[in-house]
Every structure is written in C-alpha cells, then in structure tokens.
Structure 1
Amino acid sequence: MQKYSLRARLSAPLLSLLLAGGLGAGAAGCQDAAQADTQPDPSEGAPGEVRSDKQRVANPQVSESARQALVAGNTDFALDLYREIAGEDKNLFYSPFSISEALAMTYAGARGETAAQMAETLHLNTQQDQVHPAFNWLDAHLMNLGETPFNEGSEPFELAVANSIWGQTGYHFEEAFLDTLALNYGAGLHTLDFNGAHEASRQTINGWVEDQTNDRIKDLIPAGVITKDTRLVLTNAIFFKASWLHAFEKNDTAAGEFTRVDNSTLQVDLMEQTNFLKYAQMEGYQAVELPYDGGDVSMLILLPEDLAAFEQNLDAATLSATVDALSVQNTTVTLPKFEFKLDLPLGETLQDMGMTEAFSDDADLSGMTGTRELMVSDVVHQAFVAVDEEGTEAAAATAVVVGPGSEPPEPVEFRADKPFIFMIRANQTGSLLFVGRVLEPNAAQ
C-alpha cells in the first residue's frame, strides 16, 4: 500500500520590541460552518474547506493538574529540543509552544505506537482526550494577556495564534478528527489539489502564513517540497509584539565589542539601562528578567560563564531554580540589539528525540482518515526575532520611587556582551512561548 506524505509546517515570528507604526496580528480563526467540501478552483490552488459543524469551546473546563501537566511538559520538550540542536554553531530561535501545538493536532489522529512515541517526545503527560482541551485552555489564557498596559499611552502587546490544516481535495477525513480540530483549535481543514496543482497549493499556504505573520515569514514551504503525493500539510503561526515595561533610551546605545564563542570580537550596538529588575547570580551564570508592558510576559536572559557546559545541563529544574532565585535588585543591563530569521528543519531532530514511527511506513495516523496511508514526511519551523530599544515614550519614564533620604543601592551589572540564552515566558503559567540563543548579534549600524 502506498504511503502518502503529511507535512507539518510551523511558523513563529516574534517582533518583541515595537517599531514605528506597529504591526498588526491579523490571526482570527476560521468561522464555523457545517461540514462541507467546496473547492472553488483547484487548478488555481484556491482552497475549499472541510470542517466540523461544532464551534470552538470558548471556556474549556480543564483540571488544574491537566493545565500544570501541559505547561510542565511543554517546558521539558522545549529544553529537550534546545539541547538537541544546541550543537549547531549559529543563533537559535524557535517557539516550543507553536511546535507542540501543531504536532498536537497531528497527535489527534495518531494511534498505537505512533501516538505513544509522540506523547513521550512531546511530554504530553495526560490522556490523549485531555491534551486537546488543555491546549485550548492555554490558547485562551494567552490571548487574554497584556490587555492592560501599565504605561499611559502604551498599546497593549499583541499575541495571536492561528492554526490551519490543508488536505487533498476529495480525500476522506474522519468526523471525530475534524470535531477535535474544531472544538479545541478552532481549525477547519482547508482542501487543495496537491495532486493536480501542487505548486499553486504551495503558494496558497505560503500566502496564508504571510497573512498571519504580517509578512514576517515568507516562502515557508520552499519549491519542490509539496508533491503530487502530499495529502496533508499542517501550519501553525504565532505572532507576538510588545513594548518593554522599562524602555532602553536610544541615547544610551553605543557601539561596543561582543565576544564570540571563539573569543573573536564583533562591533555591535549595545543598549544599556539601570533599573530595578528581577536578577539572580547563580553558580556559573547570571539571570535577569526584562518585563514587557502589562507585566504578563517577560524575557528571561541567561548569561553563562561557559556556554557549552551550561547548555548540556539546561533543563526544567535549572529553569525553575533560576526563576525562584530572582529578586528585585538595582541592575545595570547591557544588551546588544539583534535581529535574525531562522529556518529550523525538525524532521530528523524529532526522530532523534524518539518520534520515529510517524516518519516511517509503520506510521499509524488512522485517526485522521480511517486508514494507515499517511505518514509525516517533514516538519519545518521558521522564526523571526527583532530586539532593540524601542518602546513607548511613557515607558522611559517608569521608575521606582525611593523614600526620603534613602539612596538606591549600587547596581549589580548584567553585561550581555558575549553569547547568551533568552526565553519569552508567560509569567503566571511559566509557559515558554519562545526560546533563543544569540551567538552573533547584528553588526553595529
């Protein structure tokens, strides 16, 4: 029996500091409709849609244990993945949340050993039927963050998640699978004619991703990847932008040296500010937390003395101990401006992490179609990050008021002029939205 390919495509742009004019998210979910397959013009790659007539659950009832298990599992997966790819000699940036959610949609159709391997690799530590409502809960929680900025005149940050699945027109997909997508991910299944118009289909999907990411992610699926044998493509887009709660003043940015791993140096633009921030001096590394306006999401920066040794032992326990040790201190932070885009092929990496069967002829994705014809052929993640001093005018005026006659303590110094690791976290749940590493910032402008 011929195996057809399922391609998972994940997209996670991050614009963490606002640029003039701002960028909108534009990631509204599809409208619910009765299950139908309407293909306007397959030869042009125009999508139809097959979906459940069920509406997304607006207030999913998920136990506290299931919520904690999802967040803890995603953290374990995020750092497993980091250690797996840390040996690559380049900047890193990815969204473990985005990757997990897209693969969770695949997991909805997985059965037997295929499902067991996916659950173990992704650290999905609850029953399969509880995983999807938990993701729905986390989506809803994240969408409500940052609605009230602290700084007067500041725009609330934007965080938008969009999921979509693209299937071969005329192909049968199980009703229960479509129901799971609709109820928990707000997603229908768009139909395209991969068999007769694979290039037009590729352009349609790439156009959808561009729309969801404000044109930050272009050409997610390269030419030649989608073929006549493709039967299913998964896409997940997550878009985030935010002002710093305490903005860096542009007048304080100056050219300086950044020391690479090999001890060579690069001239970069170094931002600097002194403020009362959460800081910790740990054994072998420093940590500082830079909050975004609204206080719901922060960037945690880890600055190790020995990057390679630290990376080998970076796990959830290390992260938890670091967060617990943070305390508000007068801190001088020096941080380079940086911006980069990363294409991260994940197929081989996921197999190395234990998810082998889904990529083989033994794959059991029968929950999707009722047969074992599908297998995963590839998973690709593309991400964009930009960090500079930009924030709102009011943010620069934020300060801690000290009582009469007292002097602020001498600031501790956090100088990130060498390789560092950063994470974007939802503070209340601890969810890791993004994880990155800077080995080489952009050269000074």
Structure 2
Amino acid sequence: MLKLGVILFLGISTTVNSQCFYKDDASKKLNPEARTNLYRNQLEFTLDLFNTINHAVPDDNIFFSPFSVYHALLLAYFAAGGETESALKKSLRISDIQDKVNLLMAYKVDKRARAVNNNSDSYEFTNANKMFVDTDLHVRDCLRNMMAGELEALNFHQNPQVARQQINNWVAQITKNNIQDLIPVDGITDTTKLVLANAAYFKGVWASKFPVERTKKQVFFVSETRQTLVPFMRQKGTFHYMVSDELGAQILELPYKGNDISMYILLPPYSMKEGVSNIIKNLTPERLAAVVEEGYMGREVVVEIPKFTIERSLPLRPILETMGAGNLFDATSNFSTLSEDSGILFDDAVHKAKIQIDEEGTVAAAATAIFGFRSSRPAEPSVFIANFPFVYVIYERPTNSVLFMGVYRDPKK
C-alpha cells in the first residue's frame, strides 16, 4: 500500500535562539507534553478539515492528506506574526498554553523520530517539509538557524520557471513520481517570495492480502437510482469489526504489514441517504479514538471492497478561508517572524491527491500548493460488503495521526 501527500504554500534545530519568536525565547519552560499536544491539535484540525471539504464537495469522491495540509500550515505558522499568526493558531487548533518554542521542538522531535523509526521492513513512510524562499528575501538569522533543514533559496525573481520546476521535481522525488507538475506554469512568477511545501509518501502492503483470483465485477450502488459495475476484492479472515451507533456505521480495520498503520472503512446503512455526511459530521477525536483502540475483539469476517484509483485536485483556498485562515491571502498578511521584508502574501492554494487500492495494498499521493505572487446493508455482522458510498481513513497508531482520508462515492468520477 502506498500513500503520498504534498502541500505547498507560496508567498515564504531544536535549539531556539533568543528573541526569534518572543522577546526572550529561552525563558519558555519546556513542556514534556508538547509532542502529545501537537498530535492532538493535528487530529482536531484533521476532522474539521474533513467536514469542511465534504460541505464543499458533497456529491463527489474525496481524497486528501490532512497530515500534509497540517504540516504545510505549521511552516506558515512558524513564519507568521501578528493577525496572521493568530488566525493560523486558531485554525490549527493550537491551544493558548502551547507556545511556538515548544511547538517547534515537538515538530523537530517528531521529524527525528520518523527518520529513525521508519520501518522499511514492513512499510515506508517519508515526510519532508520545505520553505522555498526567494534569494532576494532577507530571512531572519534566528529562523534560518532554527529551520536550516526546512529552508532552501530559489531565484524566483530572475528564473521563475526554473524555480517552479525545481519545486515540482522535489515533490516528485519525495512522492516517488506519484505527484508530478504540482505547480502549474502560471503558479510561479518573478514576484513570488515564498513557497511552503510538504511532501509525504507511504507504501505498505495489507497484512492480509486479497487473492487476485477472487476479484470479480459486481454492482456498486452510487445512489438509489444509479448503479455501476466495478471490480470487488474479496477475502475471508480475522479482522477487527464493530458497529458504532454514535457514528451510524459499520467499521472494519484493514491493517498493513507491521500493524502500525491501518485503513478503517466506515460504512453507513444503505438506507441512509446522508449516511456518509453524518459519519463525517459526527466524527470527533473521542469517537475516532474509540474506533482505533485495540479493545474490540477480532472476528471472522467476509470482506468485499472495491478496487479503485482516484486522483483529485482540491482548491484549498476557499476551504482554508472557511476555516478561518483567510488572512493568509490578504494584502495585510504578516510573515514578520520569517522576514522583515514586506509584500509576502498568498494568492491561492491547491491540494492534489491520488490513491490506488488493489489486492496487494494501496498507493496514494497528495499535494497542496499555495501560490504567493500577485448494495443493501449486510444481513449478518460477519459479512462486510462496501458496495455503496463509504468513508475511509488511513491512520498511524503510534502518533495518533490521520495520514490520508477520503470518501468513495462514485466509481465513474
């Protein structure tokens, strides 16, 4: 299974220098729960983002990487000041007690842990963040020192198309060529100051693969009045299965080899027209925790799920504006923590995602860019047939992180 995520924002060491974020950064006490708080903030943002996207495209397939979106916005938050910083802090669900010093340290610790713990024997997950800045932009020394691994200078003002290709090549490299040409030809100009980027890649295989010879076409019920034939993968095995009355869904866990990462499929009753939207609306951090905990018993289940590939481009700017991060796109935007230069703002944002699910596992990719320039319900619990619209979540258990998520509504879209 493979999943990828990339986010780009255009506009802009665990040791924190004095007076980079605050008048005296060194006076901030280290919070041992900073990393846990980071994951909690990320999860709250993830579910809010999912609900906002579903409202924007209520009848379409959805696939995106909230992990990728969040990390790109974190780069923006570290670079921001004033009202822009306040708006990002609110939309990213960062609590008032969590200061930038501790958040940056949590970010750095998470980055190092992922580099060390990437379990290549069972799955591969790579996450990379970059702030591509114009060579003429005067980056503050303290931020340059703290985020040396995230900063890279490109000559936007003299060679915008060369710079665009360099960023697209970086995205393609991180995502193993699953996301290409993320930034369009007109996405970078000679007035671009900054690109904030995140790229994430996941590759894994099912802990229990689907036998290829059992894949057969059968009916998928798009709606009460429309149906289509799609290939369905089938297997019988022992899986975690539950029914959640609070979410109004049957829930099946399909783990990947290594068991740190799983796909959860949330299937509403066939008779409920708004079943998918109700699941998304009711999906809180507490209810998601109840889904992913190990407390429910494994049981023998007959599983039938579609084999599919979906690629989606999502206009992210209106989504972020709805979520309260619209200050990013205003002429009054403030990135004074990054640079004392004026004129750094974002004009647009786009997220691109791709997923492929087959008998072996899943391949997925997601990318976001912000440009800164001017069937019937199964009769028995032991049978899980996802032959009508459902929600799916790819979840990393050790960090309580949602890496990718989506809605499968229409095989023809």
1:265 aligns with 2:224: no
How far apart are the structure 2 equivalents of 1:234 and 1:299? Answer: 28
| Alignment correspondent of 2:255 | 291
Offset at 1:123? 1.2
Mapped contact 1:104–1:132 kept (Cα < 8 A): no
155-164 or 287-296, larger mean C-alpha shift? 155-164
| Alignment correspondent of 2:40 | 72
| Alignment correspondent of 1:161 | 127
1:302 aligns with 2:266: yes
Offset at 1:244? 0.6
Mapped contact 1:269–1:337 kept (Cα < 8 A): yes
Q: Cα distance 1:296–1:181, how it changes in 2: closer, same or farther (>3 A)? A: same
| Alignment correspondent of 1:15 | 2
Q: Which of the residues 275, 280, 297 maps onto 1:311?
A: 280
How far apart are the structure 2 equivalents of 1:158 and 1:339? Answer: 20
1:84 aligns with 2:52: yes
**Unmatched tracts of structure 1, length 5 or more:** 1-13, 17-24, 28-53, 149-154, 392-409
TM-score by length of 1: 0.76
Which digits, 9 at most, give the CA deviation of each residue in 1:386-427, with x for residues without a partner? 111016xxxxxxxxxxxxxxxxxx971111111111111111
Q: Which of the residues 364, 373, 384 maps onto 1:414?
A: 384
Alignment coverage as a number of residue pairs: 365
How far apart are the structure 2 equivalents of 1:142 and 1:421? Answer: 27
How far apart are the structure 2 equivalents of 1:95 and 1:327? Answer: 29
Mapped contact 2:133–2:151 kept (Cα < 8 A): no
AA in 2 matched with 1:136 = K
How far apart are the structure 1 equivalents of 2:323 and 2:202? Answer: 28
Which digits, 9 at most, give the CA deviation of each residue in 1:327-379, with x for residues without a partner? 31211211101111111221121111111222212211111112443122222
Offset at 1:440? 2.0
Mapped contact 2:34–2:102 kept (Cα < 8 A): yes
**Unmatched tracts of structure 2, length 5 or more:** 7-12, 17-28, 270-274, 362-379
Offset at 1:272? 1.2
Q: Cα distance 1:145–1:288, how it changes in 2: closer, same or farther (>3 A)? A: farther
Mapped contact 2:51–2:280 kept (Cα < 8 A): yes
| Alignment correspondent of 1:204 | 166
How far apart are the structure 2 equivalents of 1:321 and 1:263? Answer: 34
Aligned residue runs from structure 1 range 27-426, under 5 A? 63-87=31-55, 88=57, 89-125=59-95, 126-145=98-117, 147=119, 155-182=121-148, 186-192=149-155, 194-261=156-223, 263-283=225-245, 284-305=248-269, 306-324=275-293, 326-390=296-360, 412-426=382-396
Q: Cα distance 1:72–1:216, how it changes in 2: closer, same or farther (>3 A)? A: same
How far apart are the structure 2 equivalents of 1:146 and 1:176? Answer: 30
Give the % identical residues.
32
AA in 2 matched with 1:139 = K
| Alignment correspondent of 1:45 | none
TM-score by length of 2: 0.82
Offset at 1:55? 8.8
Indicate the SS of the match to 1:108: helix
Mapped contact 1:363–1:372 kept (Cα < 8 A): no
How far apart are the structure 1 equivalents of 2:260 and 2:113? Answer: 11
Which digits, 9 at most, give the CA deviation of each residue in 1:192-229, with x for residues without a partner? 2x222222221221122112211111110011121222
